[in-house]
Amino acid sequence: MVIQQDKMQSLAARMAQDEVKGRSPWADARKRFFRNKAAMTGLIILIAVALFALLGGYFAQWSNEDLDFAVMGQVATMGAPSLENGHYFGTDDLGRDLFARTVQGTQISLMVGIVGAAIAVIVGTLYGATAGYVGGRTDQIMMRAVDILMSIPYMFVLILLLVMFGRSIAMLFLGIGLISWLDMSRIVRGQTLSLKNREFIEAARATGVPSWKIILRHIVPNLLGVVAVYATLLVPLMILTESFISFLGLGVQEPLTSWGALISEGAGTMNYGTLWQLAFPLFFFVITLFGFFFVGDGLRDALDPKDR
């Protein structure tokens, strides 16, 4: 009896001990990511661009819609970037402040990229994980549907949609969202197939965890690495798509603008000595793409399963 009591006490003491904090695989990946110089540079660039989009408006001396009558008509001589008249990035061909317009274009382009990638992540992950996990006929039908959607020349359809239903941001998001998840669902399905036969999934099935819970609790968290990498590479792809459409003159509508639209305008007036109209939007466009690619690369290295 005495011994028993001793045992119980030591048990109670051990049960009450402070819980040790675990080192999750995410924390490990984060540490590796922060050690990666290229990825950190990319991340800092992206943060700077995001801050520019969010806070740039407060520093603008001009609104993005107002015409500066002082420079109108003589943009090539008067509209160059200058601190004195408040046009930090100069003006566009109509005399609108290019700084304010670049801020706005950055907002729109980033939003298009992030919303597109977000749709891809949510829809593509759930769709692909379900197809891969359920398998069999369901999988075949679901993936055949993706094949069919992929075989449609989506740029053509998107342009058609924009022409038919008018150009609007909502339409653009819809069009980009519709196609962006296809690749993601394929990648996720492939990963799911290889995860499905791992023993921990079998263990969950053996105790009778329902399928939807297995997908959400066991499959998806183990896919997130791949999804995160692919999503960071998808954002610039979406930005490029939008820019291409805007470059064709079918993207966002005035007075809204985007990097694509600004670059298009800048390229149109390149020969008139107003190079800054091309240079500023292009600069932001290029560094952002690089930023995303670096971050995506760094994420891939950090989440590399071989290291785990």
Partner 1 sequence: MTKPLLDVRDLRVTFQIRREGAMPWTAPTPLHAVGGVDFSLNPGETLGVVGESGCGKSTLARALIGLVPATGRAEWIDGKDLVAMTPRQMMRYRSDIQMVFQDPLASLNPRMTVGQIIAEPLKTHRPGLSSAEVKTRVKAMMEKVGLLPNQINRYPHEFSGGQCQRIGIARALIVEPKLIICDEPVSALDVSIQAQVINLLIRLQKELGLALVFIAHDLSVVKHISDRVMVLYLGKVMEIGSSDDLFADPQHPYTQALLSAVPVPDPDHDVAGSVVPLSGDLPSPMNPPSGCVFRTRCPRAQAACAEQVPALMGQDHRTACHFPGPLTEEEIARARKTEAA
Please provide the DSSP assignment of 173-216 as one string: HHHHHHHHHHHHHHHHHHHHHHHHTSHHHHHHHHHT--HHHIII
Taking CB under 8 A as the rule, does residue 206 contact partner 1?
yes
CB of 19 to partner 1, least distance (A): 5
Q: How far apart are CA 228 and CA 232, in angstroms?
A: 6
Q: Which stretch binds partner 1 (CB under 8 A): 107-115, 155-163, 198-206, 272-280?
A: 198-206
Q: How far apart are CA 223 and CA 215, in angstroms?
A: 10
DSSP 18: P
| One of 8, 11, 51, 270 touching partner 1 (CB under 8 A) | 11
Taking CB under 8 A as the rule, does residue 136 contact partner 1?
no
Chain centroid to Cα 117, Å, comes to 5
DSSP 73: T
Q: Which stretch binds partner 1 (CB under 8 A): 59-67, 140-148, 193-201, 245-253?
A: 193-201
Taking CB under 8 A as the rule, does residue 151 contact partner 1?
no
Taking CB under 8 A as the rule, does residue 15 contact partner 1?
yes
Task: Supply the Cα-derived Rg of the chain in whole angstroms.
Answer: 26
Angle at 149 between CA 144 and CA 150, to 5 degrees: 95
Query: Contact letters (x/-) for partner 1, 209-238, by CB under 8 A?
Result: x-------xx--xx----------------
Taking CB under 8 A as the rule, does residue 20 contact partner 1?
yes
Number of residues binding to partner 1, judged by CB under 8 A: 29
Taking CB under 8 A as the rule, does residue 249 contact partner 1?
no
Q: How far apart are CA 89 and CA 61, in angstroms?
A: 11
DSSP 91: B
CB of 190 to partner 1, least distance (A): 18
- Footprint on this chain of partner 1 (rule: CB under 8 A): 11, 14-15, 17-26, 198-200, 202-209, 217-218, 221-222, 308
